[in-house]
Amino acid sequence: MKKKIGWIGTGVMGSSMCSHILKEGYEIFVYNRTKSKAQELLDNGANWCDNSKQVAENSDIIFTIVGFPKDVEKVYLGESGVLQGVTSGNIIVDMTTSNPSLAEKIYKEAKKKNVSSLDAPVSGGDTGAKNGTLAIMIGGDEATYNEVLPLFELMGKNIKLLGNAGAGQHCKMSNQIHIATTMIGVVESLLYAYKAGLDLDEMIDVIGKGAAASWSINNLGRRIVKKNFDPGFFIKHFVKDMRIALEEAKRMNLSLPGLALAYQFYIAAMGQGLENLGTQGLYKVLAQMNGISV
């Protein structure tokens, strides 16, 4: 018999990720702070719960993907949180990008209740979530990973257990560090091509297949050309991720000047009120610095 699935967080990515599991015939119990964002899942057969604890009380495996570490802490450790509703043998899986230390704390608290925990942040944006092609980076016990793997395979294509609790979050930090400086390159290359009078789509056609190829230029670069700054991943969440990475780097006595620069550019975007745009909204910041209207 299929296990009952809990899902907390039905935003830009969570809704699509949950839908892949729902389509496979699993009984799903969902909760989101804004109920309307879960409506499509509810219309397709998911069950509504009034809080995180209620989700856990009705589920065998509980997935979460929320906004910030403080949200993760509340969802799991709050008075109406997941760990107040779990029973022995349950599995909890946090897919939020969050602090590695918090992942370790949740793992230890879950163990006290004979509950298994995985941290499993993802990469691939809204497109990867919709297409079920996400990269999923996982920390936790191998036996738990193997049990949840068939569900991960409904959401992603590049799935890897990287070590103990917190390892998935550390891998996601590496991912975000790489993307942060890559986005500067994407934006600056587009601005240069614009000033040089090139057709931007044609330019991407060429460099997007060569040594400069990246997911960011081929996907977010295309969105920039179309002046589509809708969020596949919010600037405000990316700033959170970079802050976590900088804090972890400081703890490890590691200097990352490229990340620090990208962080400052994105802080400028926040200062301009662009926090709810997608990460490609960085184009607006650097375009304005160069007197280019968007």
Which residues belong to the active site? 172
What is the gyration radius of the CA atoms in the chain, in angstroms? 20
Tally DSSP H helices, then E strands, for the chain: 14, 9
Backbone angles phi, psi at 274, to 5 degrees: -100, 15
Cβ distance 30 to 41 under 8 Å?
yes
Backbone angles phi, psi at 72, to 5 degrees: -60, -45
Residues with Cβ within 8 Å of residue 269, at least 6 apart in sequence: 235, 275, 277, 281, 282, 284, 285
Q: Alpha carbon of 279 to those of 109, 158, 179: distances in Å?
A: 34, 22, 10
